[in-house]
C-alpha cells in the first residue's frame, strides 16, 4: 500500500493540467526537482525549486465534530423541509442508511440528485445557542491554492467563523467571520475581500456577502484565496511570477495561506426572519452537502511528491533534505544551514540544496550551478510582473532591480533582496563562526560557496 492514492491522483492531475493549461505558463511550473544537463565535464545534475501539484485535499483529512453527538438521527427525529418550514415530517435516522446524514457526506462526490449531506440535530433547546464545530485536520502543513468553498443544504448560517491552525490544532486564529449583521454579531464593520489591497491583504474581515438565510437560492460560502492572490498576480492570476516573488520574500504572506487544520464554527443557524419561530424549532438546523479545499503539501520547495500512507501525508524530500515538510538537512548534509527553496529567479527558482557536512568531504564533489540567463526570461509584461521593485519590496543595500525579476547585489550582500551579508550566509562573519563552519579561507568552503551558494548574487 505504499503507492498511495495521492500518487495516482497526482499523476492523473498532471496529465489533465498539461492538456488544458488555463493561462500562459510564463512563470514555470516548479514540477521538477532536478534535471540532467550537459556541460564540458559531461552530464551533471542541475537542481531546481520544486513543489507538489495542487490537488483536492479533502481526501486526506480527518473530520471531528463538537459536540460529538450533534449529528441528527440518534435518536431519530423529524425536521422541516428545506425551503418549506411548514412541512415538518422529514425524518433523520442514523440507523437507516437512506435517512442518515453522517459527516462523511460532506466530502463525497456531489453531482447526484438529490445531493447527499451532513445534517445536525435541530434547535430543540432554543434559546440555548445551537453551536457546532467542524474541525478538519491534515496532521501536515498544507498550502491553500484555491478558494475554500462550503455548500449548505440548509440556509447559510446567520453567524459563522472560519478558523485555522498552523500548529496541528494547539492554537487557533480566525480566518474570516461571516454574519447577516457583522456589527451585531462580532462588533466588526462588514467588509468584502474586494475592499482589501496589497497592504491589507492579511486583514481578518467579517463579511455579510454569504449570509442570507432562506431568502436566496445561493447556498455557497467562500473563503477567497484567489481574490487575495490577485492583489499580487493581477486579475485572472496572469502574473504568478509576481505572486511567487512576494511569497518568497514575505513569510507572513506565505503563512497566511498555510494551515494544518481548519475549523468551521457554526454559531447560529439561518433564521431568515427577525424572530425565531418557537413553535417550529425543527425548522432550524445546519446541513452541509460539500466542502472544497484545494492545496498542496508544504514541502519547502524541496519535493514534488507527497505520499499518503497510513493515513498520513509526507513529502518525499529531494535536495538532501528530510522531515515531513523537508524542513531540515539530512544527516551528513549539514554543510550550511538548511533553507527552503526559492521561487526566484523565475522560472526555475533556486533549490538551496543541503550540502555535505564539511567533515564528510574528502574530495569535494563536483557540483555545477547553472544560472538561468535572466535577460532571456519570458516576462510578458515586465511592469506587472515586477518582483523586486514594487509597493512592498525593494532591493536593499544598494542592490539594483534587474529586469524586474531579481536584485543584483553588491559583492558583500546576498539574498533575494540583497538583505543578507554574504559572510552571514556562509557562517564566516565573526571569528567564532559557529558549528560546522571551517576557518576563514578554507579552500573547501570557498569552493562550496562559489559553486553552491545558490542565493548568491549574479555577477554580470
Ligand X SMILES: *[C@@H]1O[C@H](CO)[C@@H](O)[C@H](O)[C@H]1NC(C)=O
Site residues (CB under 6 A) for ligand X? 47, 66-67, 131, 133, 163, 172, 263, 265, 319-320, 353, 373, 375-376
Cα–Cα separations (whole angstroms), residue 385 to 25, 272, 423: 13, 45, 31
Smallest distance from the beta carbon of 355 to ligand X, in angstroms?
Answer: 7
Of the candidates 39, 266, 306, 19, the one whose C-alpha atom is nearest the C-alpha of residue 132 is: 266
- CB 161 to ligand X: min, Å: 8
C-alpha cell of 348?
526555475
C-alpha cell recorded at residue 92: 433523520
> Phi/psi of residue 359, each to 5°?
-65, -25
Around Cβ 203, how many Cβ atoms within 10 Å?
11
- Whole-number Å distance between alpha carbons of 441 and 435: 16
Shortest Cβ distance from residue 452 to ligand X (Å)? 9
Q: Which helix (H) or strand (E) holds 262?
A: strand 258-268
Residue 373 or 435 having the CB closest to ligand X: 373
Shortest separation between residue 332's beta carbon and ligand X, angstroms: 8
Nearest to 265 by CA among 162, 123, 187: 162
The runs of H, that is alpha helices, within 295-421 are none
Q: Quote the radius of gyration of the chain (alpha carbons, Å).
A: 26
Which is closer to ligand X, CB of 34 or CB of 226? 34
CB of 350 to ligand X, least distance (A): 12
- 17 vs 165, which CB is nearer to ligand X? 165
**Residue of minimal Cβ distance to ligand X:** 66
CA gap 291, 214 in Å, rounded: 20
CB closer to ligand X, 206 vs 233: 206
Q: Report in angstroms how near the CB of residue 99 gets to ligand X at its nearest.
A: 25
Distance in Å, CB of 214 to ligand X, minimum? 24
Dist CA 353 CA 355 (whole Å): 6
Check: CB of residue 7 under 8 Å from CB of residue 303: no
User: Closer to ligand X at the Cβ: 140 or 319?
Assistant: 319
Q: For ligand X, which is the closer residue by CB, 92 or 355?
A: 355
Amino acid at each position: 500500500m505504499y503507492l498511495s492514492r495521492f500518487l495516482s491522483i497526482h499523476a492523473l492531475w498532471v496529465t489533465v493540467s498539461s492538456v488544458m493549461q488555463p493561462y500562459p505558463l510564463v512563470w514555470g511550473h516548479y514540477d521538477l526537482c532536478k534535471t540532467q544537463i550537459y556541460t564540458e565535464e559531461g552530464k551533471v545534475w542541475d537542481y531546481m525549486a520544486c513543489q507538489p501539484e495542487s490537488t483536492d485535499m479533502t481526501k486526506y483529512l480527518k473530520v471531528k465534530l463538537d459536540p460529538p453527538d450533534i449529528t441528527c438521527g440518534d435518536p431519530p427525529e423529524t425536521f422541516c423541509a428545506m425551503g418549506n418550514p411548514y412541512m415538518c415530517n422529514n425524518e433523520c435516522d442514523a440507523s437507516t442508511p437512506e435517512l442518515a446524514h453522517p459527516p462523511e457526506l460532506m466530502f463525497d462526490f456531489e453531482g447526484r440528485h438529490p445531493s447527499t449531506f451532513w445534517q445536525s440535530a435541530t434547535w430543540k433547546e432554543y434559546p440555548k445557542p445551537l453551536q457546532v464545530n467542524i474541525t478538519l485536520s491534515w496532521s501536515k502543513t498544507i498550502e491553500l491554492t484555491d478558494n475554500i468553498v462550503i455548500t449548505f443544504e440548509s440556509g447559510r448560517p446567520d453567524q459563522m467563523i472560519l478558523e485555522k491552525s498552523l500548529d496541528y490544532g494547539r492554537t487557533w486564529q480566525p480566518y474570516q467571520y461571516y454574519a447577516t449583521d457583522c456589527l451585531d454579531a462580532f462588533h466588526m464593520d462588514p467588509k468584502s475581500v474586494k475592499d482589501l489591497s496589497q497592504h491589507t491583504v492579511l486583514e481578518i474581515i467579517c463579511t455579510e456577502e454569504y449570509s442570507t438565510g432562506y431568502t436566496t437560492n445561493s447556498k455557497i460560502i467562500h473563503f477567497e484565496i484567489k481574490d487575495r492572490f490577485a492583489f499580487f498576480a493581477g486579475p485572472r492570476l496572469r502574473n504568478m511570477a509576481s505572486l511567487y516573488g512576494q511569497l518568497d520574500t514575505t513569510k507572513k504572506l506565505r503563512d497566511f495561506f498555510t494551515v494544518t487544520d481548519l475549523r468551521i464554527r457554526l454559531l447560529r443557524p439561518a433564521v431568515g426572519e427577525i424572530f425565531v419561530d418557537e413553535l417550529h424549532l425543527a425548522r432550524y438546523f445546519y446541513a452541509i452537502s460539500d466542502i472544497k479545499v484545494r492545496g498542496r503539501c508544504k514541502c519547502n520547495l524541496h519535493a514534488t511528491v507527497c505520499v499518503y500512507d497510513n493515513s498520513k501525508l509526507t513529502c518525499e524530500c529531494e535536495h538532501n533534505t528530510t522531515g515531513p515538510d523537508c524542513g531540515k538537512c539530512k544527516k551528513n548534509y549539514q554543510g550550511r544551514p538548511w533553507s527552503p527553496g526559492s521561487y526566484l529567479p523565475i522560472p526555475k527558482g533556486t533549490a538551496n540544496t543541503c550540502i555535505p557536512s564539511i567533515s564528510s568531504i574528502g574530495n569535494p564533489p563536483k557540483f555545477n550551478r547553472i544560472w538561468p540567463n535572466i535577460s532571456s526570461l519570458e516576462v510578458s509584461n515586465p511592469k506587472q510582473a515586477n518582483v523586486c521593485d514594487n509597493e512592498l519590496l525593494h532591493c536593499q543595500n544598494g542592490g539594483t532591480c534587474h529586469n524586474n525579476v531579481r536584485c543584483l547585489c553588491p559583492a558583500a550582500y546576498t539574498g533575494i533582496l540583497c538583505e543578507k551579508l554574504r559572510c552571514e550566509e556562509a557562517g564566516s562573519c565573526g571569528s567564532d563562526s559557529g558549528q560546522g563552519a571551517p576557518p576563514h579561507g578554507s579552500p573547501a568552503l570557498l569552493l562550496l560557496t562559489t559553486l553552491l551558494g545558490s542565493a548568491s548574487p549574479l555577477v554580470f
